[in-house]
A and B are shown apart, each in its own frame.
Chain A
Amino acid sequence: MLEIRNLHVAIEDGSKKILNGLNLTIRDGEVAAIMGPNGSGKSTLSYVIAGKDDYEVLDGEILLDGKNLLEMEPDARAAAGVFLAFQYPLEIPGVATMTFLKAALNAQRKGRGEDELTTPDFMKRVKAGAEKLGIPQDMLKRGLNVGFSGGEKKRMEILQMALLEPSIGILDETDSGLDIDALKIVSEGVNALRSAKRSFLVITHYQRLLNYIVPDTVHVMSKGQIVRTGGKELAFELEANGYADYVTNAAA
Chain B
Amino acid sequence: MSNITPLKTEVEQALIAQGAGIAPDRKAAFERFLESGLPHRRVEAYHYTDLRALLKSAPPPAKAGGKVSVISPLADIDADIITLVDGRYEASLSSTPPKGVSVKMATTLADDGSAQKSVLSSDPVIALNAAFSDSALDIAIDAKTELVKPLIIRLVTTAAHASYPRVRVTVGDHAKAFIVESHEGGVAGALIDSVLEVRMGDHVAFDHLRLNVTDRAATVLTSFGGAMGKESLYRGHNFVVGGALSRHQIFFRFEGEQSKAEISSASLLNKKQHADSTLVVDHAVPECQSREFFAHVLDDESIGVFQGKIIVRPGAQQTDGKMMSRAIVLEDGATMNNKPELEIFADDVACGHGATVGALDEDLLFYLRARGLPKAEAEALMLQAFVGEALESIEHDGIRDVLEALAEQWLKARSA
A residues with CB within 8 A of B: 50-54, 73-75, 77-79, 82-84, 86, 89-90, 92-95, 99-100, 103-105, 107-108, 111, 143, 160, 164
A52 and B371 form a contact (CB under 8 A): no
Point out the residue from B362, B363, B370, B388 that lies within 8 Å of A50, measured CB to CB.
B370
Q: Say yes or no: is B369 at the interface (Cβ < 8 Å to chain A).
A: yes
A75 and B372 form a contact (CB under 8 A): yes
Contacts of B364 in A (CB 8 A): 90, 92
- The stretch among B43-51, B72-80, B274-282, B377-385 that forms the contact with chain A is B377-385
Q: Smallest distance from the beta carbon of B186 to chain A beta carbons, Å?
A: 31
Interface of B: prevailing SS: helix
Q: Smallest distance from the beta carbon of B107 to chain A beta carbons, Å?
A: 47
Interchain CA distance A84-B363 in the complex, whole Å:
14
Closest to A47 in B: B366
Q: Smallest distance from the beta carbon of B119 to chain A beta carbons, Å?
A: 34
Q: A52-B366, A90-B363, A107-B377 are in contact. Are A164 and B371 (CB under 8 A)?
A: yes
Interchain CA distance A75-B371 in the complex, whole Å:
7
Closest to A104 in B: B371
- Which B residues, 357 to 413, have Cβ-Cβ distances below 8 Å to chain A? 362-364, 366-375, 377-378, 381-382, 384-386, 388-389
Interchain CA distance A82-B373 in the complex, whole Å:
13
Interchain CA distance A93-B381 in the complex, whole Å:
11
B372 and A79 form a contact (CB under 8 A): yes
B373 and A103 form a contact (CB under 8 A): yes
B372 and A111 form a contact (CB under 8 A): yes
Closest 6 CB pairs of A and B: A94-B385, A108-B372, A78-B372, A104-B371, A74-B369, A107-B372
Q: Smallest distance from the beta carbon of A36 to chain B beta carbons, Å?
A: 22
Contacts of B374 in A (CB 8 A): 73, 75, 107, 111
Contacts of A75 in B (CB 8 A): 369-370, 372-375, 378
Q: A74-B366, A100-B381, A103-B381 are in contact. Are A94 and B371 (CB under 8 A)?
A: no
Known: A75-B375, A104-B368. 8 other contacts (CB 8 A): A50-B370, A51-B369, A53-B366, A73-B369, A75-B369, A83-B370, A93-B385, A95-B384
Interchain CA distance A5-B140 in the complex, whole Å:
77
Interchain CA distance A247-B385 in the complex, whole Å:
45
Point out the residue from A89, A94, A104, A143 that lies within 8 Å of B372, measured CB to CB.
A104
Interchain CA distance A89-B388 in the complex, whole Å:
22
Closest to B386 in A: A94
Contacts of B373 in A (CB 8 A): 75, 103-104, 107
A73 and B375 form a contact (CB under 8 A): yes
Q: Smallest distance from the beta carbon of B415 to chain A beta carbons, Å?
A: 13
Q: A92-B382, A94-B385, A94-B388 are in contact. Are A86 and B367 (CB under 8 A)?
A: yes
Contacts of A108 in B (CB 8 A): 371-372
Per-residue CB proximity of B327-368 to A under 8 Å, as 1/0?
Answer: 000000000000000000000000000000000001110111
B370 and A92 form a contact (CB under 8 A): no
B389 and A94 form a contact (CB under 8 A): yes
23 contacting pairs across A/B (C-beta < 8 A): A50-B370, A51-B369, A54-B362, A74-B370, A75-B375, A78-B369, A79-B372, A83-B370, A84-B370, A86-B367, A90-B363, A90-B367, A92-B364, A92-B385, A94-B385, A95-B384, A95-B385, A99-B381, A100-B371, A103-B373, A105-B372, A111-B372, A111-B374
